[in-house]
Amino acid sequence: MSDIPGLPARRAALQMIDAVLHRGETLEHAERNATRRIRGPADKALAMAIAGETLRWLTDLDALIDSATKKNLPPDAKPRSVLRLMLAQWLRLDTPPHAVIATALPLLSGGPRRLAHGVFSALNKQDIALPDVPTLPDHAAERWGDRGPAIASGIVTPPPLDLALKDWSDTDERARSMGGVSLAPGHIRMPRGTPIDQLPSYKTGDWWVQDLAASLPARLLGSGQGKRVLDLCAAPGGKTLQLAAAGWKVTALDISERRLDKLRQNLQRTGLEAEIVKANALTYVPAKQFDAILLDAPCTATGTCRRHPDVIHRIHDRQIEEMAELQNALLERAIEWLPDGSTLIYAVCSLESAEGEAQADSVGLTQVPITADELPAGLQPTEDGWLRTDPGMLAEQSGLDGFFVGRWRK
């Protein structure tokens, strides 16, 4: 059975879905375990594509399954999981029905196999289709409220590849030569699936991968001109690279040695410099003062749902509350270290107001409102002077991640 072409990829996708939905693992972590025995990169990519599309459209796939069964299958029933994969391949990846059946039914046996075959065949005979926009699960739709439809519209497809340039002076010309488009100085957007290590100037370190939204917090600090900045929770280092390229003397602090190794590699590849400190920000005592602190705080990362659709299903109130407590503690520490006249930037790649607006409202410093002329075309600050991005924004340019950013001066 293991010799059936394509079966290992489907088995890996099934394992990933189970790990995300029933064990709360991230899709990235689940992928490493599930694809360990798959040799070819094409099969690994296929497994990830099937799992990703299944999670992206999970609510709608379940509705189709329920429409074809007399009694709803339990959420953790294996036939439901296999049917989800089958429908995702057929309706989203354009896999022919006969290939779907041949590679999915071997994952089941006996009665469950006959059930899955019968349900899929019944749906295949109908004129069914997924909606234009994924339906959010109830808990996410309730949290995001009026923003929900726009957020959902931004997760229809995986995102393109964004690059941040070390030198902004020739952004437009470089974008044209690389076959991309620029949405802001120092930014290039490449088509999805672009092989990173084969792009021009990868080895010379002229750019690094960074979503446009993720580049905004550091942009809001402007040019460093030799001033000191502390990049808290810095790894894997996109913001550290930005700040160093903008002329700041950067101290990059993170608790993870593995993630700091990635930062060191990026610094070496780009030829940029930063002081690296491995420490817990909650106990760290800086030996010097800084002109600015950038706190890109640990968060639920729901703003990355375009590329990580697992967060839509994994994240609930408990995780949000835990992250909010940590963010509040980190903000208190950062404020203690700020001398008068210095600037604080707080950012999270989260769509949750408890991690964004609610945290900003608790900061007892003088707000420096974010203005439209500091942002890429098409983005606007909120009425309160914060920055809030959602995946549905800049839709004609393929969107961007969800972020919250606030700025203050002490």
**CA-CA distance, 354 to 143, in Å (whole number)?**
10
CATH number for the domain spanning 333: value is 3.40.50.150
Region 42-52 average pLDDT? 96
Q: List the single range of 34-38, 151-155, 375-379 with lowest mean pLDDT.
A: 34-38
Q: HSE of 82 in the Cβ direction (CA atoms, 13 Å)? A: 24
Residues 217, 177, single domain; the answer is no
Q: What type of residue is 138?
A: D
Specify the DSSP class assigned to residue 262: H
Region 100-128 average pLDDT? 96
Please, what is the average pLDDT of the chain? Answer: 96
Residues 386, 302, single domain; the answer is yes
Q: Specify if 244 maps to a domain.
A: yes
Residues 176, 254, single domain; the answer is no
Residues 172, 200, single domain; the answer is yes
**CA-CA distance, 238 to 129, in Å (whole number)?**
40
Residues 222, 302, single domain; the answer is yes
Region 339-349 average pLDDT? 97
pLDDT of residue 304: 98
Q: Is the pLDDT of residue 1 over 70?
A: no
Residues 205, 250, single domain; the answer is no
Residues 224, 345, single domain; the answer is yes
Q: Specify if 299 maps to a domain.
A: yes
**CA-CA distance, 183 to 168, in Å (whole number)?**
12
Region 225-231 average pLDDT? 97
Asked whether 123 and 87 are in contact (CB, 8 A), the reply is: yes
Q: Specify if 234 maps to a domain.
A: yes
State how far the alpha carbon of 94 is from the alpha carbons of 53, 90, 157, in Å. 12, 5, 14
Q: Specify if 148 maps to a domain.
A: no
Cα Rg of the chain, angstroms: 23
Asked whether 243 and 231 are in contact (CB, 8 A), the reply is: yes
pLDDT of residue 37: 86
Instruction: Give the orientation angle of helix 257-270 with respect to helix 238-245, to 10 degrees.
Output: 40
What is the number of structural domains in the chain? 3
Cβ-based burial of 264 (10 A; exposed 0-12, middle 13-18, buried ≥19): middle
For 142-193, how does the pLDDT look when each residue is reduced to its tens digit (9 = 90+)?
Answer: 999 999 999 999 999 999 999 999 999 999 999 999 999 999 999 999 999 8
Q: Is the pLDDT of residue 127 over 90?
A: no
Residues 270, 401, single domain; the answer is yes
Residues 219, 204, single domain; the answer is no
Q: Specify if 200 maps to a domain.
A: yes
For 190-219, how does the pLDDT look when each residue is reduced to its tens digit (9 = 90+)?
Answer: 999 898 988 988 889 999 999 999 999 999
State how far the alpha carbon of 11 is from the alpha carbons of 14, 80, 140, 248, in Å. 5, 14, 28, 48
Q: Is the pLDDT of residue 238 over 60?
A: yes
Q: Is the pLDDT of residue 2 over 60?
A: no
Residues with Cβ within 8 Å of residue 83, at least 6 apart in sequence: 61, 65, 73, 116, 119, 120
Strand 275-278, strand 249-254: pairing = parallel
For 273-306, how does the pLDDT look when each residue is reduced to its tens digit (9 = 90+)?
Answer: 999 999 999 999 998 999 999 999 999 999 999 9
Residues with Cβ within 8 Å of residue 146, at least 6 apart in sequence: none
Domain that holds residue 71: 7-124
Asked whether 351 and 303 are in contact (CB, 8 A), the reply is: yes
Roughly how many angstroms between the first and final C-alpha of the chain, as a whole number? 66
Residues with Cβ within 8 Å of residue 46, at least 6 apart in sequence: 6, 9, 13
Dihedral of alpha carbons 102, 108, 109, 115, sign: negative
DSSP code string of 153-169: HTTSS---EEEEES--T
Q: Is the pLDDT of residue 339 over 80?
A: yes
Region 128-140 average pLDDT? 97
pLDDT of residue 4: 78
